[in-house]
Each structure stands twice: as C-alpha cells, then as structure tokens.
A and B are shown apart, each in its own frame.
Chain A
Amino acid sequence: MAVSERTTGTPQPIGFSQTAFGRVGMVLRWIALFIAVVLFLLPFYLILRNALSTEADITAPSWTLFPSHLQWGNIKELFDDTQVPMARALYNSAVVGILGTAGQLLLASMAGYGLARIPYRHADKIFYAIVATLMIPGAVTFIPSFIVVSSLGWVSSLRGLIIPTLFSGFAAFLFRQYFLGFPRELEEAARVDGAGYFGVFWRIVVPNSLPFFAALAAITFIGNWNSFLWPLVIGQDSSSWTIQVAMSTFITAQTINIHELFMAVAVSILPLVLIFAFLQRYLIQGVTQSGIKD
C-alpha cells in the first residue's frame, strides 16, 4: 500500500509548463505553495518562540521575532509548578497511550483473525454485531459510557481512562479485512508442522504483518495521546489528568503564564513529532488504509 510513496506515473497534465499560461500557472502554484507552507508552520514557530521567551517578551507592545535570550529555565519552572501536575500528567498520558494502543491492537487483531480464519457457525452474526457499532457516532456515547464506568467505580482512574477505549470495532474490522488477504500458504505450512491456531497466529501471522501493526499502532497512539473528551469526563481528580486535560485546565486557571503554558505545549507534542519524524511512512499508510480514526 505504499501508494503515496510512488514517484513515477503521477498524473501530470502533459505539456503544461511549455505554454505561457503554463509558466504563469507554475509561478502561481509555487507562490500558493510557499504561502501555505508559511501558514502551516506559523503555529509551530509560535510554540517555540513563546516557550523560550520570558512573559515580558511575549506581552511586549512590539512583536519580537525570537527571544534574544532563550529561556531554557522555563522547562524547570513548568515542572516545578505545583498548581499543574505536569510530570504526573505526562506519565498518565504515556500509560494511556502505550497500554491503550497495545491493548487495542491485541484485542482487535485476535478478534480479526478469529473472524477471518476460524470457521464457526455464528461468525457472521458476530461480525455484523461488531460492524453495527461503527454506525454509532463515537462522541455521543460519552454520557452512557460515563454512566457504566462510574458504576464500576472507575472514575478518576487509569483503568477508567484505558479499558473502555480498548474495544474498537473499527480496528477489529480492519484486521479482519487484512487477515482475509493474508497468504494462506504460509499458514498451511505451519499447520502441517502441527501448529494450532494460537501457534500459527503468533509465530507466523503476526511476525509477517508487522508493517500493518505499525501503521495502526502509530495512528492509535496519536489518537490516544491527543484525545480530550473522554479523559476530561473521567479525569475528575487532578491525579488522573492526562496532559491534554492538564493543559486545558491550565488555560482557565486564574493566572495564566503564557510562557509556561507554551513550554507545556512543546513538551506535549515532542513524542508525536518524533513519531512523525521516524514513522511517517507507517502513519501515512495507516491514514490511507483506515480513512479515519476518531
């Protein structure tokens, strides 16, 4: 599925740049591209500028392009601030991101494999029951889900943050489709050697599907790290805030330190920027394969 990596055979209106119109069009396209790049990068510039400025630099009457003295001490100030449990929030987000992603992939891949490969009388009915949950808009279920989680006593806990998000019908659906296309010959060979479903799945299917797992893991992790509504509903106590909830609370605090808040923003996007830098290929595959992840 490396469609987006392809460099040859892309649609090029033929003879486009040979006419005068084509040359003007070319220049206009480059100008549009340049403006778009500036607009898209502008918020990242603001994060860096504000995170490394003093409060006085930011609120000065005239715009300073970049602080003359980079305030690296803002990092220490952020983590020392007792009003915002920054370290705790980062820890919570990391746990939610990692366990949530691992759990979701484990459950959905096993379900997907079972549906795709293990003959069972009611398999189709169960598959339709899973697909039916895709029709329900994710965000409108937060009130009923909160009711269930609160009656389990999981409000303000990592369990409450993670476990209800693990059962993604969409991920199970994607895995099933993927495993239906997995080469049967590989599985048959292992079966002849006496492996059961469990052995085939773990020793043959999973090791040969790592790019697919990586693609889904990348988008699932980003979705978990960035999710806001559910952690807001569940995180009623500051010990269970994720980084997103902590930052959101930070805005509405009585006194806003803009430089500190932007340092929090910079710290919070660092893991994702690293994922983008090193796993972008998988990420783009994940996006084109799944269409959406909410």
Chain B
Amino acid sequence: MSAPVTTSRAEDAATAGERRRRRRPGRQKGIAGNALWFWIFVGPFVLGLLVFSYLPIIWSLVLSFFEAYNTATPSKFVGLQNYIDMLKDHNFLSSLGTFTIFAVFIVPLTFILSLALALLVNQVKIARAFFRSVFFLPTACSYVVASLIWRLSIFNGVRFGLANTILGWFGIDNIAWLSTVSPPWYWLPIVTVRLWLQLGFYMILFIAGLQRISPTLYEAAYVDGAKPGWQVFRYITLPQLRATSIAVLILNLIAAYQAFDEFYNLIGNVNYARPPLVYLYGISLGSIQDLGHGSAGALILAVIIMIVTLLQARIFGFGKAGD
C-alpha cells in the first residue's frame, strides 16, 4: 500500500492521459457510446468498490456513534462516547504501546537486515539466483504456517523445542518462550517470525534498487579515491537507494500497525502482548459483539496510520526523490 507514491505517479499519468486525449478530439464514435463502454469496463469494479469499500467505512462511521451490541442496525445514539471510552480504555492504549515496542524492533531490523541480504546477494558472483531464491522462499509461507513452526518446534517451551534443546547443550534450563513476561522473552519469537517471513520480500525491492544504480557512479568514486567498502556504501549506494529505502520504511510500518496473524497464532488474545487489531477483533467479534466500540477503535487506528504515513512522507520528502 504505497499510498504517497501512487498519488504522485497517478497525477503524472493522469495529465499524460489527458494530453493524449486532447490531441485526438472526436476520434471515437461519439460521447454517448464512449460513456457506455466506459461503464461496461469500469462499472462492475466501481460498484463492488462502493459496496465493499465505501459502504463499510460509512457504516462503521455511523456505528461508532451508536451503542451497538450484537447488532449492525443500532438505535441508541451516544455521540462521541465510544471514542472517549476507547481513548480511556487501558487495554486499547496498551495495545498501542505493544505496537510501538513491536515497531521499534521490527522496522529498523527489517530495514538493516534486508538491505544487508540484498548487498550480499548482489555481490555474489556464483549461484546468485540460488541465494536469492533461498531468502525469498519464506514468502511462500503464511503467518499461520510460520507461527506453527515457531510455536511448536523452535520456541516450544518444553524440552524438545529446538531453542531449548540448543540451550540444553550448554546446560541452560528450559525457557517458556511465549509465556515468560519478565524478561519478556515472547518478543524474540514474535520479531523473528516476521523477520523470516518478510526479509526476502524487502530484499527483492532493495536488489531492484541496487541494480538501478549506474556502474559509472562506482567507477567515478573509485577514480576519486573513495575507499571501497564503507565509504562507497555511505556516499554512493545509500543515497542512491533513497527512494527504495523510504518505500521500505513506510510499507513496513503500515504492515506492522496491522499485525494480527502472528500475535493471534503465537500467543493469542492475552493482555501482555496484544496489538491493536487483536484487541479490536476480540471486542467486536468475540463473545460480546461490541461493534460500536470496535468501529470507533478501528477508525482511531486508521487515522493514526494515515497521520503517521503522511508525516513520514513529509519528513522524508516523498515525491522529490521521484523514484
């Protein structure tokens, strides 16, 4: 969901399209015929978008102002009360806190490690396709699959889990990885499972970025006496990867806000590690279907994500880089 990229590119394309259209006036059979064909092509899609994108958002906005337990057609208007409740709700606030800790781990780690993998793969002269495939392969696995492996085989709290087996070789006692709150060991499986699943994806984006860098830049740097390694990386590679880097950071953060699958499958709906979506799922689709508070919470979350995305885009000056 690269929203900021899309709008700037969209505008370019739209004006280009307009120019082309203006150049050939009246070429088509007639305005009415074109309108009909336009709606034959675009109509079904727009209709679906109205029903399954716009209608839910509007309905949800309406519900957020009502008391709506177990009903989608409520009658008791409560004004902003649902929003006030959610902003005072300790569990909702702590879910935002959980997300923040998660993002602090996952965003920089994903950025650094996927860039490192891209650099490694890109510099290999033999079997490059093999290495790229190996790192990309986890993308074939779902969060459910990866969570199963992590929960039952690697970070199983009992003796036969792989992590505890390895610790056992050094005489260290078993650790209940997913249920130990102090120290908070559960972050280790949660962060590593997402790293395994998504590093290859971002690596592919970085490799594409690296291959767009002109070799003449490296030659020029060499002639100018830049030391291979850190200096070349710092002053040539990294600045050239600016557009890709921004895209990776933004995509990663948006995805982290919407983390659900691995938390749900690794730990479940427990208060010590519950990101916003797991909490909202629990209150709106759990035993009591509180759709009013659920809708209010979802809209608060959507607004936070949009603000953060726009702020990030502003800070990094998106659009100037142009990709």
Residues of A within 8 A of B (CB): 3-4, 6-7, 9-16, 19, 21-22, 25, 29, 32-33, 36-37, 39-44, 46-47, 50, 58-61, 63, 107-108, 110-111, 113-116, 118-121, 123-124, 126-131, 133-148, 150-151, 163-164, 166-167, 169-170, 172-173, 176-177, 180, 196-198, 201, 222, 225-229, 232-233, 244, 247-248, 251-252, 256, 258, 261-262, 265, 268-269, 272-273, 275-276, 280, 283-284, 287-288, 291-292, 294
Task: Identify the interface centre among B140, B165, B213, B305: most chain A CB within 10 Å of its CB.
Answer: B140
- List, in ascending order, chain B residues with CB within 8 A of A288's CB: 204-205, 208
In addition to A13-B218, A43-B150, A61-B159, 17 A-B residue pairs with Cβ atoms within 8 Å of each other are A10-B122, A11-B122, A12-B123, A29-B123, A37-B134, A41-B134, A46-B154, A118-B42, A127-B10, A130-B45, A137-B254, A140-B305, A167-B53, A276-B136, A284-B136, A291-B205, A294-B255
Taking chain B's interface residues, is the majority helix, strand, or loop, or is none over half, making it mixed?
helix
Taking chain A's interface residues, is the majority helix, strand, or loop, or is none over half, making it mixed?
helix
Across the two chains, which residue of chain B brings its CB closest to A145?
A: B56
Choose one: B135, B142, B208, B280; the contact of A226 (CB below 8 Å): B142
Known: A4-B204, A147-B59, A151-B72. A133 touches B149 (CB 8 A): no
Choose one: B14, B135, B298, B299; the contact of A127 (CB below 8 Å): B14
State in angstroms the CA–CA spacing of A201 and B251 once bound together. Answer: 33
Query: How many residues on chain B are close to A (CB under 8 Å)?
Result: 121
The answer to whether the Cβ of B103 comes within 8 Å of any Cβ in the partner chain is no
Taking a contact as CB atoms under 8 Å apart, the answer to whether B137 and A40 are in contact is: yes
- List, in ascending order, chain A residues with CB within 8 A of B34's CB: 118-120
Taking a contact as CB atoms under 8 Å apart, the answer to whether B52 and A269 are in contact is: no
- List, in ascending order, chain B residues with CB within 8 A of A180's CB: 13, 16-17
Taking a contact as CB atoms under 8 Å apart, the answer to whether A43 and B160 are in contact is: no
- List, in ascending order, chain B residues with CB within 8 A of A114's CB: 37-38, 40-42
One of B1-9, B87-95, B104-112, B181-189 at the interface: B1-9
Tell me how far the C-beta of B82 lies from the nearest C-beta in chain A, rounded to whole angstroms. 12
The answer to whether the Cβ of B211 comes within 8 Å of any Cβ in the partner chain is yes
Taking a contact as CB atoms under 8 Å apart, the answer to whether B145 and A269 are in contact is: yes
- List, in ascending order, chain B residues with CB within 8 A of A197's CB: 37, 40-41
Tell me how far the C-beta of B103 lies from the nearest C-beta in chain A, rounded to whole angstroms. 14
- List, in ascending order, chain B residues with CB within 8 A of A258's CB: 152-153
Tell me how far the C-beta of A198 lies from the nearest C-beta in chain B, rounded to whole angstroms. 8
Choose one: B10, B17, B201, B218; the contact of A12 (CB below 8 Å): B218
* B50-107 with Cβ < 8 A to chain A: 51-57, 59-60, 63, 72
- List, in ascending order, chain A residues with CB within 8 A of B45's CB: 107-108, 110-111, 130, 167, 172
- List, in ascending order, chain A residues with CB within 8 A of B268's CB: 252
Tell me how far the C-beta of A286 lies from the nearest C-beta in chain B, rounded to whole angstroms. 10
B138-156 interface code vs A (CB 8 A; 1 in, 0 out): 1111111111111111100
Q: Write 15 A-B pairs (CB below 8 A) sorted by A numbering.
A: A7-B128, A14-B219, A19-B228, A32-B120, A44-B137, A59-B160, A120-B34, A136-B53, A148-B59, A173-B10, A248-B144, A265-B149, A273-B140, A291-B2, A291-B205
Known: A58-B160, A139-B260. A147 touches B72 (CB 8 A): yes
Tell me how far the C-beta of A248 lies from the nearest C-beta in chain B, rounded to whole angstroms. 5
State in angstroms the CA–CA spacing of A38 and B18 once bound together. Answer: 53
- List, in ascending order, chain A residues with CB within 8 A of B132's CB: 4
State in angstroms the CA–CA spacing of A3 and B206 once bound together. Answer: 12
Taking a contact as CB atoms under 8 Å apart, the answer to whether A13 and B1 are in contact is: no
- List, in ascending order, chain A residues with CB within 8 A of B147's CB: 251
State in angstroms the CA–CA spacing of A113 and B229 once bound together. Answer: 47
State in angstroms the CA–CA spacing of A63 and B48 once bound together. Answer: 53
Residues of B within 8 A of A (CB): 1-3, 5-7, 9-10, 13-14, 16-18, 21, 28, 31, 34-35, 37-38, 40-42, 44-46, 48-49, 51-57, 59-60, 63, 72, 116-117, 120-124, 128, 131-154, 158-160, 162, 165, 196, 200-201, 204-205, 207-208, 210-213, 215, 217-219, 222, 228-229, 232, 237, 247, 251, 254-255, 257-258, 260-261, 264-265, 268, 277, 280-281, 284-285, 291, 294-295, 298-299, 301-302, 305-306
- List, in ascending order, chain B residues with CB within 8 A of A129's CB: 46, 49
Across the two chains, which residue of chain B brings its CB closest to A139?
A: B258
Taking a contact as CB atoms under 8 Å apart, the answer to whether B222 and A177 are in contact is: no
Taking a contact as CB atoms under 8 Å apart, the answer to whether A196 and B196 are in contact is: no
Across the two chains, which residue of chain B brings its CB closest to A170?
A: B1
Tell me how far the C-beta of B151 lies from the nearest C-beta in chain A, rounded to whole angstroms. 7
Known: A140-B301, A140-B302. A111 touches B46 (CB 8 A): yes
Taking a contact as CB atoms under 8 Å apart, the answer to whether A47 and B13 are in contact is: no
Taking a contact as CB atoms under 8 Å apart, the answer to whether A15 and B57 are in contact is: no
Taking a contact as CB atoms under 8 Å apart, the answer to whether B260 and A131 are in contact is: no
Choose one: A118, A276, A291; the contact of B137 (CB below 8 Å): A276
Known: A11-B122, A137-B302. A177 touches B57 (CB 8 A): no
- List, in ascending order, chain B residues with CB within 8 A of A21's CB: 229
Taking a contact as CB atoms under 8 Å apart, the answer to whether B42 and A40 are in contact is: no
Choose one: A164, A228, A244; the contact of B52 (CB below 8 Å): A164
Taking a contact as CB atoms under 8 Å apart, the answer to whether A46 and B285 are in contact is: no
Taking a contact as CB atoms under 8 Å apart, the answer to whether A22 and B228 are in contact is: yes
Known: A140-B305, A176-B13, A222-B139. A126 touches B46 (CB 8 A): yes
